[in-house]
Structure formats: structure tokens, C-alpha cells
Amino acid sequence: MTFLHQYPKAAKVAKANFIVAFIALAIGGLFGFIQALHRTDVFRGFFNSGEYYTLLTGHGVLLALIFTTFFIAGLFVWGVTRSLDREPENMTFTWSWFWLMTIGLIMTAVTILGGLVPDSSIRAAVLYTFYPPLQAHPAFYIGLALVIVASWMAGADWFWSYNKWRKNHPDERIPILTFMALFTMMMWYVCTIGVAVEVVGLLIPWSLGWVTEIEPLLPRTLFWYFGHAVVYFWLLPAYYVWYAILPKLSGGRLFSDAMTRIVFVIFLLLSTPVGYHHQYADPGISVGFKFYAMATTMLLLLPSLMTLFTVVASMEHGARQRGGKGYLKWIGKLPWDSPAFVGCALAGIMFAAGGFSGMINASMNINLLIHNTIWVPGHFHLTVGTAVALTFMAISYWLIPQLTGRKLKFKTLALIQPYAWFLGMTLMSNAMHRAGLAGVPRRTAEPQYSGFEFEPIFGTMAEMDWQIAIGGTILTISLILFLWVITASWMGGEKSDRPVDDYIPEPLSGAEHTPKILDNMKLWFALAIILVLLAYSFPLWEMISDGIFEPGALPRPS
């Protein structure tokens, strides 16, 4: 008996979400490969430099917004169903959020890809931050709004299951897999208010021509109200895997249930009031609020360092149970031949490196050294591009067999895949960080200028370009391996009652040692709202008090 046999309805929903996620991953990844070659001037024959920005928009939207959201939905359907031991309450409702999200995705994708059709009026080369006054086709914004609304419905679905479960289990602690999913979704509700107000209240009326002018700073600020919390919306499901599943894959148990819950509570509280740290270089936001954002961002180091400790301690526990000894020698006893484990562990190592560049980004003045340089994509290809994406890929090797009832095929290829990703990302990301220190900008088709040369402090520009191009190629090969292994296993893996060992042992220090107050969702949600109000009410008031659309700028085609 595995998940498929116990919860066939939920398995179908989770599989549908994963299919969409993997298609988005395939297309977005291909765009990334073309960009790596284009930017570095290794090969520019696929598209011209104007079309580059359409590909870049596709890369960002399909990977950062679509791949993540659908994968997370599938993962949480699995986790909530399993830990509460109930199928979704109403399948019509469940399928309606899935299809609504898919329709939104298709609308958005069509407007983006329209940019590759010559003379098309349907365009959306506005990148995934879609700052006005650059204007996309209205369907781009409407599609995004549908994806967000559908994700709210998905969250409501899980809260619904939880409430029903609670009626039958009035005194039990929230199971950890459900706890983490619900707290992630609460954070998602808090932060998506910003982007929903931006898209529905400002950008849709403006793109339809109901209002002509727009104030650029206000939507930008609302975007970043959402835009940093969204990275935690990607990251927390990776933590979900690291806390709940990785210890078992290492042969051990989760070190502490209490630590896990505390970490998720802190993320709910602090994820949103940090948005100005993307706007340190902006006029119109005072230094005091920038400082507040820096302080909250730095406090977020705390739960990530707690995660470092708890997750590594859980892995060490596994290694020692497998016979590991010494201060560091135990690392060799970890299952470095299991694709799911290797992917998660390498993702964690990359996250530690990405954490350091994140600290630089978060610090108000040193941020100016690297603001909008390619250092920043270097940073988030370590975090979302590896810590999150590689964890998702790795855990698919463990989840997909449970959902399909089929064993994994091509285990050797599956094992090579995470190592290849790690190697490719090491090459690409270190070069991006160093190029950023020299001042090379991000988001540009041709970072080669006629009037001056960049002066790198470490290495040479040519060497960095080659590392980016070669790294990007290795990443693409790794992605193809992943898609091949998953597709082959899904279609033709050997059928089995227990295709993978899906048992998850209890934590070492269980929920009975966890303070009850951590499960008080209303309290933490209210506190999160208060912290957001402190950060945002005054600056937003300052921006809208002279008129919501004033000082107004006219729309420009993308």
C-alpha cells in the first residue's frame, strides 16, 4: 500500500499539479539555456536581442511563479492528505482550483510567447516583476490574478480538511506535515494581498485603458510587498522536505518537532515586512523604513540558521545510526548513492552559500555595490534555482513512485542528475557573483558596452562568460536527465504495491515536548498582520495621498 492506493483521488490531483509543474520546468529551463548562450555572446543565432526579453520573461514566470506554485500545490496535497489521513473534502472544489490555476497559467503564457510572433500585438515582455509604465497585454495580468486566486482556493481546501480533522481529533497536535503546509499558506495569504491589490486594483484597469496614467512607485512597492515573501513561499516547501523527509532519507529521525514549528512561525511573522530591501536604491522610501526592513530581514537569518542546525543534526543522527563516527567522518556514512538524498543534501549546501550573498543583498548600504547586477541572479540561482528547484526534483524521485505506484527507472541517471546540477550551478553562479562585483548588470541581452570595459577584481570577463555558458549547458543536460527519468518511470516503471519506502519515523523530540502556543494560528496570523502594518502603512499612505495614480506616467509598449 502506498499513497496511490490509500488516497487515489488526492494522488490524481497531486499528479495533475506535477505534470503542469514539469512542463513549465522544461520550457522555462530551455529559455534559460538560450539566455546563458546569448548573454555571454557564445551563440546568438536563436533569437535577436529584442526577443531576449520575451524569453527572460518566460524563464522568470514559468520557473519562479508557475513551476513552483504547481509543484508546491502537489506537494501539499500529498502532505496534508497523508498526515490528516483524509482525501480532499470535495473533489469538485479541488479540481476547480486546479483548472482555474491552469487557465490563468495558459493566459499568461500565451501573452508572453506572443512576443516571439513577428508584429504580434499580444506581448508581455515585462519580465516577472512587470513594473509599469511598461505595459503588457491585459490577459497577462488577468492570468496572473487567476493563478493567485486559485492558489488561495487551494489553501482554503487544506484549511477545510484541517477543520474537519480537528472536529474528530479535538486534543491532538496538528500533524507536522499539515502544520508546515498551513503556516506556509498563511504567509502566502498575508503577502499576496499586495500583489492582488497591485494587479486587480491598478494594473488590470490600466492595461484595459480604463485609466491612462499610473504612478510607477506604488505598484513597484506593492510588488515587493509580495516579492520577497514569495521567495519564502518557494523556500518553505523545500524546508518542508528537509524537515519531514530528508532525515528519514539519511537513515535518522527529525531532531526536534518544536524547532520545526518555531521556524515556520517566525517565517509567517517576518516574511512580508522585509520588502523594501529590494528598494534600497529607490527614491521615495525613507531611510528609516529601509532600516526597519533590514532589521526584519536580518532577523530572518535566525530561522534559517535554526534550520541549518536542525536539518544537519537530523542528517548526522542518520549517519551515526548507520555507523558514522567522529566530528566530520560521519558525513561519509550518509547515503550518497540515493538520488533523493543527494539532491536534497547538495541543495542544502548551495543554500548555505546563497545565504551569504543574501546577507550582502539584505544590508542597506553594501547592497548598492551589487544592486541590479548579475550578482543578484547569481544569488537566487543558488537559492530558488538550486535549494528549491533541486530539492523539488530530488524529492520527485521519492514522491512520483508513491503517486503512480511505479518504481523509479534509470537510477544511475537519476543519481548523476543532482551531481550534474551542482557542478553546473557552481560554475555558473560563482561567475555571476564575480561579474556582478565588477558591475555587470542583470536583465540585459548584451552586457558588452562600446564606451567602457568592466574591470573585474577576480578573474577575467572572458573566463566568467565561459563559466556561465558551460555551467548553463551542464544545467540543461541535468534538467533533461531529470525529465527523462521521471517520464520513463511514470510511463513505464515496474508496478508495485510499495514502489518506495514511504514510511516517515517520528521525530527524536516529538510534539509532546512542543509548547502548545505554537499551534495557535490565529495569534500568529494577527501578529504577522501587525508587523506588516508597521512597515507599510505610512509609506503607502505617502504614495497614495496625492492621488492613487499621481504623479502619473503614460503607458509604454513592452
- Please give the positions annotated as active site: 228, 232, 379-381, 442-443
Asked whether 489 and 481 are in contact (CB, 8 A), the reply is: no
Report 304-333 residues binding other proteins (CB under 8 A): 305, 308-309, 312-313, 316-317, 319-324, 326-328, 330-331
Helix ranges restricted to H, 3-131: 3-6, 8-39, 49-59, 68-84, 91-113
365 contributes a contact to other proteins by CB under 8 A: yes
Report d(CA 384, CA 100) in Å as an integer. Answer: 25
Q: Which of 118, 119, 283, 516 binds other proteins (CB under 8 A)?
A: 283
- Which residue from 43, 89, 506, 515 is in contact with other proteins, where contact means CB under 8 A? 506
Calculate the dihedral angle through the C-alpha atoms of 389, 390, 394, 399, rounding to the nearest 10 degrees.
-10
- Is residue 553 part of the contact set for other proteins (CB under 8 A)? yes
Instruction: Give the nearer residue to other proteins in terms of CB position, either 21 or 315.
Output: 315
* Angle of CA points 40, 45, 48, to nearest 5°: 80
Identify residues 38-57 at the interface with other proteins (CB under 8 A): 49-50, 53
Does 285 sit near other proteins (CB under 8 A)?
yes
**Closest distance between other proteins and the C-beta of residue 92, in Å?**
25
Near other proteins by CB under 8 A: residue from 235, 294, 384, 511:
294
Instruction: Assess 338 for contact with other proteins (CB under 8 A).
Output: yes
If residue 134 lies in a helix (H) or strand (E), which one and from where to where?
Answer: strand 134-135
Least Å distance, CB 99 to other proteins, is 29
Q: Are 554 and 133 in contact (CB under 8 A)?
A: yes
Considering only 15-23, 267-275, 354-362, 420-428, which stretch makes contact with other proteins by CB under 8 A? 354-362
CA-CA distance, 462 to 387, in Å (whole number)?
A: 28
Q: Report in angstroms how near the CB of residue 96 gets to other proteins at its nearest.
A: 27
- Site of grid cell 536542525: 310
CA distance linking residue 245 with residue 502, whole number of Å: 9
Residues 195-214 that bind other proteins (CB under 8 A): none
Q: Is 220 in the site for other proteins (CB under 8 A)?
A: yes
Q: Is 437 in the site for other proteins (CB under 8 A)?
A: yes
**551 counts as binding other proteins under rule CB under 8 A:** yes
Measured in whole angstroms, how far is the alpha carbon of residue 199 from the centre of its chain?
Answer: 20
CB-based contact 240:75 (threshold 8 Å): yes
With cell 532525515, the residue in question is: 247
Cell numbers found for residue 351: 543554500
For residues 522 and 556, which CB has a smaller minimum distance to other proteins in the complex? 556
- For the chain, the straight-line distance linking the first and the last C-alpha, in angstroms and rounded, comes to 53
C-alpha cell at 316: 548526522
Task: Output the smallest distance, CB 195 to other proteins, in A.
Answer: 17
Among 9, 12, 44, 498, which residue interacts with other proteins (rule: CB under 8 A)? 498
Collapsing DSSP to helix, strand or coil, 551 comes out as coil
* Minimum distance from residue 286 beta carbon to other proteins (Å): 5
Q: Which of 15, 59, 290, 406 binds other proteins (CB under 8 A)?
A: 290
Q: What is the nearest approach in angstroms of other proteins to the Cβ of residue 271?
A: 16
Q: According to CB under 8 A, which one of 450, 516, 522, 541 is a site residue for other proteins?
A: 450
3-state secondary structure 399-413: HHHHHHCECCCCHHH
And the C-alpha cell for 1?
Answer: 500500500
Helix (H) or strand (E) holding 557: strand 556-557
- The residues with which 490 forms a beta bridge, in sequence order, are none
Instruction: Tell me which stretch binds other proteins (CB under 8 A): 64-72, 141-149, 184-192, 293-301.
Output: 293-301
Contact yes or no for 58/31 (Cβ under 8 A): yes
Element at 556 (helix H, strand E): strand 556-557
- 135 has which bridge partners? 557
Q: Which of 45, 119, 171, 503 binds other proteins (CB under 8 A)?
A: 503
Rounded (5°) CA angle 197-203-208 = 135
> Which of 129/473 has CB closer to other proteins?
129
215, 257, 465, 519: residue in contact with other proteins (rule CB under 8 A): 215
410 touches other proteins by CB under 8 A? no
Residues between 113 and 142 that touch other proteins (CB under 8 A): 125, 127, 131, 133-134
Tell me if residue 441 falls in helix, strand or coil.
Answer: strand
Choices 21-29, 164-172, 179-187, 290-298; region in contact with other proteins by CB under 8 A: 290-298
- Restricted to residues 168-187, the positions that interact with other proteins (CB under 8 A) are 175
Q: Which of residues 238-257 bind other proteins (CB under 8 A)?
A: 251, 253, 255
Check: CB of residue 165 under 8 Å from CB of residue 67.
Answer: no
Based on CB atoms, which residue is closest to other proteins, 286 or 520?
286
Considering only 43, 99, 336, 356, the residue that binds other proteins (CB under 8 A) is: 356
Residue 380 binds to other proteins (criterion: CB under 8 A): no
Nearest distance, CB of residue 181 and other proteins, angstroms:
15
Q: Applying CB under 8 A, does 90 fall inside the site for other proteins? A: no
Let me know: does 240 contact 263? Beta carbons within 8 Å.
no
Candidates 28, 74, 78, 82; binder of other proteins (CB under 8 A) is 82
- Would you list the DSSP string of 68-87? HHHHHHHHHHHHHHHHHT--
538 binds other proteins (CB under 8 A): no
